[in-house]
Amino acid sequence: MEHKWVSVFCHCNPLNLRALLLIFFVLLCSNLSQSVDLYPDDKASVLLFRSCLQDPSQSLSSWVGSDCTNWTGITCENQTGRVVSVNLTNMNLSGQIHPNLCKLPFLEHLVLSGNNFTCTIPLCFGTLRSLKTLHLGYNGFYGTVPDTLMRLWQLKELVLNGNKDLGGLIPWWVGNFSAQLEKLDMGFNSFHGEIPESLLYLKSLKYLDLGNNNLSGTLSDFHQSLVFLNLGSNQFSGTLPCFSACVQSLRVLNLANNSVMGGMPTCMASLQALKHLNLSFNHLSYELSPRLVFSEKLLVLDLSNNDLSGRLPSKIAETTEKSGLVLLDLSHNRFSSEIPLKITELKSLQALFLSNNLLVGEIPARIGNLTYLQVIDLSHNLLSGSIPLNIVGCFQLLALILNNNNLSGEIQPELDALDSLKILDISNNKISGEIPLTLAGCKSLEIVDFSSNNLSGTLSDAITKWSNLRYLSLAQNEFSGNLPSWLFTFQVIRMMDFSGNKFSGFIPDGNFNMSINFKNGELDKMQREPFGTMHNVDTKVFIIVTGSTELSFSYVLSSVVGIDFSNNVLDGEIPGGLFGLRGLQYLNLSHNFLQGRVPDLEKMRSLRALDISHNSLSGHIPGNISSLQDLTLLDLSYNCFSGFVTKKQGYWRFPGAFAGNPDLCLESSDGVCDPASLPVVPGNALEGEEDEGWISVWVFCLSAFLSFYFGGLALFCSPRARNYILQTKA
């Protein structure tokens, strides 16, 4: 495109031009510097309000003098100096709200959102008759909404969201106290009961958010032209209405995480302005009608976690070159067809979730036509065939999740074209062959799970190119050869699982402290939970849709920090450095042919589970484990340990851990060696402690599964059920 510059000349007297510019500059400066003196009574009221506040950030330090334009958050009427707006959003304020704040008769906007006020909503707010905006969201207000607010007949916006102890019934008057009310946000509170009928008929209402409360009753239709409606995460029941009064206006509809039942009415497709529809986590059933085709304006469609069945719709939304679905989530239903080819015509699609259904057939070869795709999750289905080579057309792909299907064939070398890929999970399939050397090109990989397939060969140096690797599982395959010396060079690795293969030779004695997670001993909240809740790896994906068609991707990996080399044919001694990792929580070297003595455990202060059973380890039981307070599971059984284990060593908590070591005895209650105290079968001495459990091999066969759930922050989020977040702009 050419850019043409056009010059325009004005024939003026240079002196006159200078004079005009000078006058303009003077007028501009005088206008910018014009001060507004605060009305004395209003100034006194505002200062009394400040006197009761704690202001650790000194946000209100500018409240000195009388010039209103210098007072942070205060706006005055230019002629009279009366305060018309108080906006103190996100200023870290706390304390009590002085009644004199209500002595501002011309106040039109009061915004106290995002602070730390912990009190009831002042009754005197009802005296602010000029008020048009009242925002009290995300504080600690508690109690009920005072009836005095019904006097605010000019109010246009009432925002009370994010006050978890604010509840009771939704006031009966909320639908008829102001004929100008356009926005009502009472989400993320503790309201219960039903929606007042008057609210269903308030003609001025455009924005209604009652999400994340304890509201109940039958879902009713609304009779005004709503633009935004969020009733998600409540206890509404009944069937879906048609929202016929909102056909031309409704842009966002969130009814997720309720008890809505019945089928999906075709009239929902008549909502021509709809951009975001979330009906997930309900009890919707039956097949989707082929007449249910949404307009090209729909960006996000989430019908996940219902009981929908039958064939996947061949066409679910119109699409054009410039508009169409950005995110489609039909996961966790009972769809039982093949993946329709029409789905590859959704050219704008950036995230596709069809996991946890009963889908059959092959992955469509033309899926590579979806060049904007960033996330594909087809896991937990009955898909067969190979991974289509055409998938490399999705060159922006960040997550490819195909685990728990019946896929076969080999990993194609051409997959290296997906150089932005962060998550690759093809576990629990029937994929064979070797890991292609070309996968070194996938340098962005952070989570790789190839477990439970028929892969073979040795580990190549190509894997070292995955420098951001955080989780790697090759478990339950046919890999062989020696463990390479570079194995512990990944700096951010959290979990490494090579169990159930045919690796042989020594465990490499390398620089074990390369990993930040292995060498640090800091545990987050998740990792303090009982070990039994962490048998699987969980990855939470955050999908953010902003503006019109932009999607950004991030994830949070939740897993123990661990190493699993169990069920191989490793021999030699255990490297001492491996037992010096302060951040390691889980170590399983069981069912190998390891020999020699076991290094001391004292440095492994984060250790929660250790299994070195079924080897040929010998010598005395190492050191003292009394300081390892987090140690929950321990198995040293079926080795060649000998000697006397004293109570002072701290092993008395795990008497069943020593079974199958005939030359070993434990200190009895009278201080003598008692070989009879060792159970023949590990775990017999731990009966009655099932909560913590005995360490079995199955406990440690960690196979990462990536579970993707879909929800919305503010619009679509349910903290009780959602594992990834969709954030939108209405």
Residues of the chain above pLDDT 70, percent: 83
Q: Which has the closest alpha carbon to 180: 131, 128, 250, 248?
A: 131
Q: Does residue 296 register a pLDDT over 50?
A: yes
Listed residue (253, 218, 213) closest to 236, CA to CA = 218
Contacts of residue 323, Cβ cutoff 8 Å, sequence gap at least 6: 296, 297, 348, 549
Per-residue pLDDT at 565 exceeds 70: yes
Q: Which residues contact 358 (CB under 8 A, 6 or more apart)?
A: 334, 335, 336, 381, 382
- Report the candidate in 685, 589, 686 with the shortest Cα–Cα distance to residue 639: 589
Q: Which of 421-430, 509-518, 578-587, 704-713 has the lowest mean pLDDT?
A: 704-713
Q: Report the distance separating Cα 330 and Cα 139, nearest Å.
A: 36
What pLDDT, on the 0 to 100 scale, is given for residue 326? 93
pLDDT at 62 over 90: yes
pTM, full prediction? 0.86
Q: Does the pLDDT at position 13 exceed 60?
A: no
> What pLDDT does residue 31 have?
44
pLDDT of residue 667: 81
Per-residue model confidence (pLDDT) at position 669:
73
Per-residue pLDDT of 601-625, as tens digits, reads 888 989 999 999 999 999 998 887 8
Judged by phi (left if over 0) then psi (alpha if -120 to 50, else beta), residue 218 lies in: beta
Q: Cα-Cα-Cα-Cα dihedral of 103, 106, 109, 110, to 10°?
A: 0
Rounded distance, CA 372 to CA 155, Å? 44
Write the pLDDT tens digit of every residue in 642-701: 998 888 888 888 878 999 999 988 887 777 777 655 665 554 333 333 333 333 333 333
Mention every residue, 6+ apart, whose C-beta is less than 8 A from residue 149. Answer: 121, 125, 126, 134, 155, 158, 171, 177
Half-sphere exposure of 342 (CA within 13 A, CB side): 13
Q: Which residue has the tokens 């996000």?
A: 300
CA 678-681-684 angle, 5° bins:
75
Q: What pLDDT sits at residue 700?
A: 34
Phi-psi region of 660 (alpha: psi -120 to 50; beta: other; left: phi over 0): left
CATH superfamily of 571-674: Ribonuclease Inhibitor (3.80.10.10)
pLDDT band for position 537 (50/70/90)? low
- Mean pLDDT, residues 304-310 taken together: 97
H helices, E strands: number in the chain = 4, 47
Asked which of 321-335, 401-415, 549-563, 686-700 is least confident by mean pLDDT, the reply is 686-700
Alpha carbons 477 and 454: distance in angstroms, whole number? 5
Mean pLDDT in residue range 75-100: 97
**DSSP-derived secondary structure letter, 622:** P
Sign of CA dihedral 531, 536, 537, 540: negative
Average confidence (pLDDT) over 696-718? 32
Task: Label residue 533 by pLDDT band (50, 70, 90).
Answer: very low
Residue 547 banded pLDDT, cuts 50, 70, 90: low
Q: What is the mean pLDDT of the chain?
A: 86
